[in-house]
Amino acid sequence: VAWIGHAAEIAAGTAFAPDVVIADAQSRGDDLITVLDQIGHDGRICPVIELRPPGEYPSAVLGEAMIGEHPLVGSLERTYKIGALTAILASLATGTGRSEDAA
């Protein structure tokens, strides 16, 4: 499993930390905050994409909203198309400067 991480992440002990969290908007309660707190216990920031019921608008202004210390970077209907998720992930990866992340 460690092979899926970059060598620098494996050496730093962060290879198994998530790069993004996808969470149901209706479950954005204490459980999500607890998970994000555990991810960010060492200052790590993890972008969050919310899933919402079809036809509902995003619960916050994307790019400005935060869940704890973590930015809300995308919003998808629960029955999303893979292309919509891929577009959000690609936009996150292009900011890293690592082409393998976008792939």
For the chain, 103 residues long, the average pLDDT of each consecutive 10-residue run is: 58 70 75 80 84 77 75 87 90 62 47
Residue 67: what pLDDT? 79
> Which of 6, 19, 25, 5 lies closest to 90, judged by CA?
19
How many whole angstroms separate alpha carbon 32 and alpha carbon 48?
Answer: 10
Cα–Cα distance, 67 to 36 (Å, whole number): 8
From residue 67, alpha-carbon distances to 21, 33, 36, 77 in Å are: 11, 7, 8, 19
DSSP summary character for residue 30: H
